[in-house]
Amino acid sequence: MNVLITGGTGSLGKALASKLVERSDVSKVMIFSRDELKQHDMRDMFRGCAKLRWMLGDVRDLDRVKRAFHGVDYVIHAAALKQVPAAEYNPFEFVKTNVLGSQNVVEAAIDCGVRRVIALSTDKASSPINLYGATKLCADKLFIDGNNYCDKTTRMAVVRYGNVIGSRGSVIPVFKALVDGGAHLLPVTSMDMTRFWISLGEAADFVLECLLNKMTGGETFIPKIPSGKMSDLVKAFGLGHYELGLRPGEKMHEEMIPEHLGMQTVDHGDCYAIEPSWYVSKNTKSAMGRGFSYNSQTNENWLSVDDFKRIIEEV
């Protein structure tokens, strides 16, 4: 099978590529992204790997996306603009990439007969209060309800998870860089803040499991992962801190399943799946029920200070 990753030069794209090229059932892994320097650097990382192909292009360009999707069996859509403050200042650009770009991926996948598409979402798409989250919620709905435009050839689903430990922009590498630079205080938005946490390897494994084995079309898959307190993360670094206050569009706690979707949420053991409205009625007996939500503050699974210390050493 041939797999294409949009935004494939990012942290998760590299992790996914590493796992896919090791699979005997994968013939080609195509990296589709707009940054030639990042592709150059990634080629150096995978030097000699015959399965990888490199495609320059932007998801904003429908014709280029269609050309790239010819002969592709599976698509992992990871391309997005992601920084919350940047979205508040540059809203038009985020709409063009995250919303219109996602529509292009949906249309190209249908027109080119791609078998399965899985789009990467974020906890910020659940009950969004910032523009980034709003664009990702809109993108999620395009992939979920885009199944209504498909014949039996193409199926699409979504994966949603929390903060990826060690990814570009993640707070732990930022803090480590400050410590290495001699900082004695860490800048914190709020010590009361909580977040969901997942490792890069776990995120990649979950995406592939949903793409290759779990999805039938229209689901939003959410892994069961631990929460962590910002206060415990700071304690793990062993330094003092100063508080900056919440940034525009930033939440104190994150959720991945809002209460109003509890009736559409099914427990799959290692994860939850929000099922689309058009077939949720078939699964009402197994649904989590009215009032269920999945929130980083009310989560039952928590990282300790020692857990954070171990993670810091591994990043």
Catalytic residues: 124
Collapsing DSSP to helix, strand or coil, 263 comes out as helix
Burial 86-112 (b: 16+ CB within 10 A, else e): ebbeeeeebbbbbbbbbbbbbbbbbeb
Cα 280 from Cα 60, distance rounded (Å): 32
Q: Which residues, 6 or more positions from 308, have their beta carbon under 8 angstroms from its beta carbon?
A: 228, 232, 233, 235, 236
> Burial, 220: exposed, middle or buried (Cβ in 10 Å; 0-12, 13-18, 19+)?
buried
Cα 116 from Cα 139, distance rounded (Å): 16
DSSP 112-131: HT-SEEEEE--GGGSS--SH
Q: Specify which residues 157 forms β-bridges with.
A: 118
Task: Give the residue ranges of DSSP H helices in 11-124.
Answer: 11-20, 36-45, 62-69, 84-89, 91-94, 101-112
